[in-house]
């Protein structure tokens, strides 16, 4: 089954993660005040949701690495019937800042700056990021810490 190609045009953010109703660990808690030190680590993409679809591994795969001020992310999605039929949704790096629950990412690769609302849940090992700007990048990403 072919995945829609519109997702290739999303300027995706490194930490863009989403509170997804279909997620197995959905949080209804209020957004937390975040600090960069709380976010440091390597994350694997658990869920990607856009207005039209919710996608999980193995159909979508991604990694996010956050230091106390920089990010690097890479996300690919299956576009065909075999595992090798993938399209890169994003590969980006740059700097980020947090203010309360607002996560702002500034790309060093020329992509537009992204603004998102972020929260940690579980034992601080799950990062939910709801991208709100730019509109074409809107979506929710759920990242699970791997280290």
- Helices then strands, each counted (H, E), the chain: 1, 9
How many structural domains compose the chain? 1
Distance CA 96, CA 23 (A): 25
CB 73, CB 13: distance < 8 Å: yes
User: What DSSP string runs through 39-94?
Assistant: H-EEEEEEEEE-SS-EE-TTTEEEEEEE-SSEEEEEEEEE-SSSTT-EEEEEEEEE
Q: How confident is the model at residue 32 (pLDDT cuts 50, 70, 90)?
A: low
Domain membership of residue 87 as a residue range = 5-145
pLDDT at 104 over 80: yes
Output the domain CATH number for residue 115: 2.40.128.280
Q: What is the pLDDT of residues 52-103, one digit of tens each?
A: 899 999 999 999 999 999 999 999 999 888 878 899 988 899 999 998 889 8
Q: Distance of CA 88 to CAs 5, 113, 115, Å?
A: 11, 19, 21
Distance CA 5, CA 88 (A): 11
CB 61, CB 90: distance < 8 Å: no
Closest alpha carbon to 48 in 85, 17, 88, 79? 17
pLDDT at 3 over 80: no
Q: How confident is the model at residue 109 (pLDDT cuts 50, 70, 90)?
A: confident
Q: In the chain, what is the greatest distance between 2 CA atoms, to the nearest angstrom?
A: 42
Q: Distance of CA 34 to CAs 14, 74, 90, 119, Å?
A: 16, 23, 24, 7
């Amino acid at each position: 089954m072919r995945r829609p190609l519109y997702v290739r045009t999303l300027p995706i953010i490194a930490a863009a993660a989403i509170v997804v109703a279909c997620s197995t660990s959905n949080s209804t808690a209020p957004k937390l005040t975040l600090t960069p030190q709380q976010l440091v680590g390597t994350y694997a993409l658990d869920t990607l949701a856009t207005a039209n679809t919710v996608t999980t591994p193995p159909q979508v795969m991604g990694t996010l690495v956050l230091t106390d001020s920089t990010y690097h992310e890479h996300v690919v999605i299956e576009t065909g019937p075999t595992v090798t039929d993938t399209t890169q949704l994003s590969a980006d790096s740059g700097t980020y800042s947090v203010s309360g629950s607002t996560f702002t990412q500034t790309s060093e690769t020329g992509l537009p700056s992204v603004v998102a609302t972020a929260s940690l849940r579980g034992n601080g090992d799950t990062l939910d990021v709801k991208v709100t700007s730019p509109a074409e990048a809107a979506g929710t990403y759920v990242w699970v810490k791997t280290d």
